[in-house]
Every structure is written in C-alpha cells, then in structure tokens.
Amino acid sequence: MQRPLQITIRDIPESEAIDAHIREKVEKLEQYYPHIVGCHVVVEMPHKHRHQGKLYNIRIEIKVPGGDVVINRDLAEDIYVALRDAFDAANRGLEDYGRKQRGDVKHHESLYRGTVTKLFEEGYGFIETREGDEIYFHRENVANPDFDKIALGDEVQFILEPAGDGMQAKRVSRR
C-alpha cells in the first residue's frame, strides 16, 4: 500500500486485538489485490438505543488505481463476525473491480430457436432448428412451461450443449 492504513473506531472502546485483526484482514486483501493504494476502515456502533441488540457498522474504503471500492455494512452483534463479513464483501468488491479493469466479461450462451417436432411420453423430444438440424431435449431441460405443457409445433428457444451423441438443447422455453 502506498498510503498507511487508517483505522477509526467510534462508540466502542479501542482494542489492540481489534486493531490487529483489521490489519491482518487488510494484509489478506493486499495479497489478493496488490495494487491497493490506501485503505480506511471505520468501526462504529451507531445504534446504541436498539432493543434487539447492538449492530456494528463497518465501512471499508479501498483506494485503487482509477477508483475506489467502498463497503458500508450494518452487520452482526459480534464485532469479529461483522469484520469477517465486511472484509468478505470487500474481497468480492475487489474481484469485481479487477474483472472490470482487465476487461473480463461474462459470455452468455447464444440462444437458438426452433420448433418442437417430436414428443415422447417417456419425457423427451426433438426440436428442429431453422437450419433443419434435429436437436434432442429431455424434460429436465424444459424451463418454461413444464414439459407436459409443451406441444408439437411450439416455437421454442434454447441453448446448445455438447452431449454424448452430439448436441442437446438445454433451458428450453416456449417463445
């Protein structure tokens, strides 16, 4: 980290154990994402008047090249559980930031369209694609409506996945 770690504790007695725990958690974040510029952790108990228990508020502001990752959570009644959950969320936030920075994006499967041409009582059928290919599907792969409500001639959309003897339709749904 280029800037020193800042820890602010409000409304609770300061503790070397809590301070050490926070430093350990920040070190783990740095191991995962070594480009952290700075980090400010705020631990407070702003809801002292609650009757149901005292929740800790944990705010983690992580400075990274080109932006910030900020986590702000009202969490558990146990400070160590609250810190664990907040730092888990910070780790996920850094993962997301790293993916965006690298340009990683999820690739969604292509949806195909076709017409149901064969149905069998045993719980499977076939779809003919617009290109004339015949694709097998099983009742477990029908998403909407249920297999029993699919009829011959229905227009459906689906994704293709490799199967034992070729391609198989998955997530079949009526259009």
Alpha helix stretches (DSSP H) within the chain: 16-32, 79-102
Tell me if domain 6-102 and domain 112-174 are identical in fold: no
CATH class of 6-102: alpha beta
Residue 119, pLDDT score: 95
Structure tokens at 2: 């280029």
Q: How far is CA 110 from CA 99, 105, 124, in A?
A: 22, 15, 22
Residue 41, pLDDT score: 95
Q: Is the pLDDT of residue 106 over 70?
A: no
Phi, psi of 164 (to 5 degrees): -55, -50
In the predicted model, what is the mean pLDDT of residues 86-91? Answer: 92
Q: Which fold would CATH assign to domain 112-174?
A: OB fold (Dihydrolipoamide Acetyltransferase, E2P) (2.40.50)
Residue 47, pLDDT score: 62
159 vs 175: CA distance, rounded Å: 13
Q: Is the pLDDT of residue 94 over 80?
A: yes
In the predicted model, what is the mean pLDDT of residues 169-174? Answer: 92
122 vs 119: CA distance, rounded Å: 9
Domain edges within the chain = 6-102, 112-174
